[in-house]
Amino acid sequence: MLLDLKQRGLNISPKLAIGDGALGFWSALDEVFPTAKKQRCWVHKTANILDKLPKSLQPKAKSMIHEMYMAETKENALKAYDHFVKTFEAKYPKAVKVLIKDKDNMFNFYDFPAEHWIHIRTTNPIESTFATIRLRTAKTRGAGSRTAALTMVFKLALEAEKTWHRLKGYKLIPLVLEGRRFVDGELEEKAA
């Protein structure tokens, strides 16, 4: 997929790639776009962590995880991260291991405009975009020819597009592409 994007004209490396635990994607990203920052999906990460905890502790743990990625600053997020580790490490090392495994790729969204955070902390905006298409194609169980399937997917995407919302902070995208630095979601002013 990444090689295809490059072949079709994506000449500059993306600033950020967001994904779940698909190891093949991350390896390919390192090879094709090595300068792209990585952001693990917090929704998938939360589900993976909660899966390693007893049901009785899941609400508390989920609240603590939310404190990490909803924190106003990276510093506060890392404090919440440390608190979670200290709270669960002794009794639930498997849950903590799931969290610790991707620490370097969990907080990169803080280096982008705060307006973008809602879109880049998770893969859900991408996944929900294709949910309608996935549901319909699963129901049809083979749309006949390749042309029929592509036509159906195209028409479904056109219909789904009617409910899409514009990205928050879209006017800040040129600043990101210029390489301007954001700290805790705020644009860092250049030194005079």
Q: Is residue 191 scored above 60 in pLDDT?
A: no
Going by C-alpha positions, the residue among 19, 56, 25, 57 that lies closest to residue 41 is 19
How much is the mean pLDDT over the chain? 89
Produce one character per residue of 58-90: b if its CB has 16 or more CB atoms within 10 Å, e if not: beebeebbebbbebeebeebbebbeebeeebee
Mean pLDDT of 83-101: 97
Which of 123, 138, 170 corresponds to the end of one domain?
A: 123
Residue-level pLDDT at 142: 65
Residue-level pLDDT at 38: 94
Is residue 133 domain-shared with residue 110, that is, in the same domain? no
- Residue 99 lies in domain: 2-123
Is residue 147 domain-shared with residue 99, that is, in the same domain? no
Mean pLDDT of 145-170: 83
How many folded domains does the chain comprise? 2
Mean pLDDT of 47-75: 97
Is the distance from CB of 34 to CB of 41 less than 8 angstroms?
no
Structure token digits, residue 192: 């005079």
Q: Could you report the per-residue pLDDT of 26-55, keeping only the tens digit for each?
A: 899 999 999 999 999 999 999 999 999 999
H/E stretch holding 37 reads strand 37-40
Structure token digits, residue 100: 């610790």
Which of 92, 108, 123 corresponds to the end of one domain?
A: 123
Is residue 157 domain-shared with residue 89, that is, in the same domain? no
How far does Cα 169 stand from its chain's mean position? 17
Is residue 53 domain-shared with residue 78, that is, in the same domain? yes
Mean pLDDT of 14-36: 89
Residue-level pLDDT at 189: 83
Q: Is residue 143 scored above 70 in pLDDT?
A: no
pLDDT band at 125 (very low <50, low <70, confident <90, very high): low
Q: Is residue 17 scored above 80 in pLDDT?
A: yes
For residue 171, how many C-alpha atoms fall within 13 Å in the half-sphere facing its CB?
Answer: 0
Percent of the chain with pLDDT over 90: 61
Biggest CA pair distance of the chain: 63
Residue-level pLDDT at 58: 97
Which of 76, 92, 123 corresponds to the end of one domain?
A: 123
